[in-house]
Amino acid sequence: MPLAAAVAASAVVPPRPPPPPPRRARPLRSFTGLILTRDLAALTVARCAPSPPAPAAEAEAEAVAVDEAPPAKPRPRRYPRQYPGEAVGVAEEMRFVAMRLRNPKRTTLKMDDTGAEEEVGDGVSEDASASEEEEEEDDDDVVEEEEEGAGLEGEWMPSMEGFVKYLVDSKLVFDTVERIVAESTDVAYVYFRKSGLERSARITKDLEWFGGQGIAVPEPSTAGSTYATYLTELAESNAPAFLSHYYNIYFAHTTGGVAIGNKISKKILEGRELEFYKWDSDVELLLKDTREKLNELSKHWSRKDRNLCLKEAAKCFQHLGRIVRLIIL
């Protein structure tokens, strides 16, 4: 019975449902392909990136790049502008100063350290101006019409007494200059001895003639004495400054001075030509020789010495102008 009961029981129990079909797994192709695609892209990028160059190769590449680049234009070098006449010599520079000082209207000109008008552009650069500031601080000099003969333009009536005073003061100035050049031991002055421009001995003859005519010959005035003293002191302290006066005294006499002599001869001397205005040879050649010697000597001077010459040239014309004015006093 037990067996039969078991069989009967098993017949009553329902059969177990079949197991569900297995889930179909999604193919991994796309995922795998995505992974492979990313890996290949990363690998491709990594392989395409340039490797850092070696130091030697980098330096070589820079050198090639520099060679291939167009050459840069050199920066223009700034040179100081030259003074008027500087290329020729200091005598030419002083001539420009003399030209600027000519002022027929007798107006007052304010001078800078070079002796040139501050209002007139003279081509001086900032570097040159800076060198001028190193000189003595007396740039407030006021210079009127100084060149010998200037300021006597137009109609003017000289007096015999005034002209003799002018000759006396002129003799003192030429005596001083010629004595300094003849007696000084400064080697710079040796070049100007016996230049043929000397005037002292000839003025002496003219004064003797005036004395023979009964005209009193006075003592030198303050204008002549002051200038002679200044020249003596300057010659001992600064050769370039003194030579500026030396050259311009003769230069002024051979230009404006001769013009004065011609007018004096016509107006009060009945056409007599004085010894003061005579030379043994061509005065232009004598002055040219002196000018060339001064220019050659000035090649060894600094720009500061040249500026001082320009400044002293203005002072020279100032002193000479005071002496010339004695003629019409």
Q: What is the pLDDT of residue 19?
A: 74
Q: What is the pLDDT of residue 209?
A: 95
The 3-state DSSP class for residue 293 equals helix
CA 284 vs CA 255, 288, 290: distances in Å: 10, 6, 10
Rounded Cα gap, residues 186 and 196, in angstroms: 20
- Contact present, 260 and 327 (Cβ < 8 Å): yes
Per-residue pLDDT of the chain in tens (329 residues, 90 and over written 9): 555 554 455 555 566 777 777 776 665 554 444 444 555 455 454 455 555 555 665 666 666 555 555 666 777 665 566 666 566 678 888 877 777 776 544 433 343 443 333 333 333 333 333 334 444 444 334 333 344 444 455 567 889 999 999 999 999 999 999 999 999 888 889 999 999 999 999 999 999 999 999 999 999 999 999 999 999 999 999 999 999 999 999 999 998 899 999 999 999 998 999 999 999 999 999 999 999 999 999 888 888 998 899 899 999 999 999 999 999 86
Radius of gyration, alpha carbons of the chain: 50
> b/e map of 77-110 (b: 16 or more CB within 10 Å)?
eeeeeebbbbeebbbbbbbbbbebbebeeeeebe
Is the alpha carbon torsion for 173, 179, 182, 186 positive or negative? negative
Question: Would you tell me the crossing angle of helices 303-324 and 239-252 to the nearest 10 degrees?
Answer: 40
Residue 182: how many CB atoms within 10 A of its CB? 13
Output DSSP code: residue 110.
E
Is the alpha carbon torsion for 151, 310, 262, 228 positive or negative? positive
For the chain, list the domains and their CATH numbers.
160-328 (1.20.910.10)
Structure tokens belonging to residue 2 = 């037990």
φ/ψ of 70, rounded to 5, equals -65, 140
Q: What is the pLDDT of residue 238?
A: 92
Q: How far is CA 167 from the centre of its chain?
A: 39
- Contact present, 233 and 325 (Cβ < 8 Å): no
Task: Give the predicted TM-score (pTM) of the model.
Answer: 0.63
CA 169 vs CA 60, 172, 276, 277: distances in Å: 83, 5, 13, 16
**Which has the closest alpha carbon to 128: 75, 84, 96?**
84
SS3 content of the chain, % helix, strand, coil (to 5): 60, 0, 40
